[in-house]
Chain A
Amino acid sequence: KQEVTQIPAALSVPEGENLVLNCSFTDSAIYNLQWFRQDPGKGLTSLLLIQSSQREQTSGRLNASLDKSSGRSTLYIAASQPGDSATYLCAVESQKLVFGQGTRLTINP
């Protein structure tokens, strides 16, 4: 059974800092890994999708990496802004998308 773990559960940093969110998964037989953002009371917004054959994807200030053999992914956020405050979820897709519990990120002005 696939299990996805995200560390830390919560993170608070000053505006402007670079930061890394971590995701690990137990079964490396995946099609892809996806990172989502969720604002309070809202649905999820897709940020990045890394196919199993890829090592990383970039979108603006976001960079996600994937090491399938070790079951790890990181989401790097550069030059953080208060608008980046949200919960970030990673999910891996094999037969279905399995989510971690998320990291609640707060960027302090």
Chain B
Amino acid sequence: DTGVSQDPRHKITKRGQNVTFRCDPISEHNRLYWYRQTLGQGPEFLTYFQNEAQLEKSRLLSDRFSAERPKGSFSTLEIQRTEQGDSAMYLCASSAGSYNSPLHFGNGTRLTVT
């Protein structure tokens, strides 16, 4: 068990470009979460999956954002037409699925939009 893995660690992109991040959860964890964190703030919920089903999406997740979890394993988060306000740390977490299972976080992908 190598923990939750996120790729890339850092991404610098120009405004208007599309970016895609990947998250590999702990194997056999059926819940996968995406959070966004800006400097000095706590993480904000974006979306979560139970296996391959996307069960909830935050209003923060505009139509430029899309997340997938094909086959219920790894997940991708894509941001289209990036804006400077998208600059943040994007965190992925997984859990075993019951409400009292702790979340295990990856080290995040830091996005900078110039």
The residues of A with any CB-CB pair to B shorter than 8 Å are 4, 31-32, 34, 36, 41-46, 49, 51, 89, 91, 93, 95-102
Contact = CB atoms under 8 A, between A and B. Distances in A.
Contacts of B106: 43
B107 A42 contact: yes
Contact of B100 (A32, A42, A99, A102): A32
Given A44-B43, A44-B105, 15 more contacts: A4-B42, A32-B100, A41-B110, A43-B91, A43-B93, A44-B91, A44-B103, A46-B102, A51-B100, A89-B42, A89-B43, A96-B45, A99-B44, A101-B40, A101-B42
B108 A97 contact: no
Interface string B59-84: 00000000000000000000000000
Contacts of B41: 101-102
A95 B91 CA distance: 18
At the interface, is chain A mostly helix, strand, loop or mixed? strand
Interface residues of B, number: 24
B107 A95 contact: no
B49 interface: no
Contacts of A45: 105
B21 interface: no
Given A95-B56, A98-B45, A42 B108 contact: yes
Contacts of B93: 43-44
Nearest to B42: A99
A46 B106 CA distance: 11
Contacts of B35: 99
Which 10 residue pairs of A and B lie closest in terms of their CB atoms, listed nearest first?
Answer: A99-B42, A43-B105, A31-B99, A46-B102, A44-B105, A43-B107, A101-B42, A49-B102, A96-B45, A99-B43
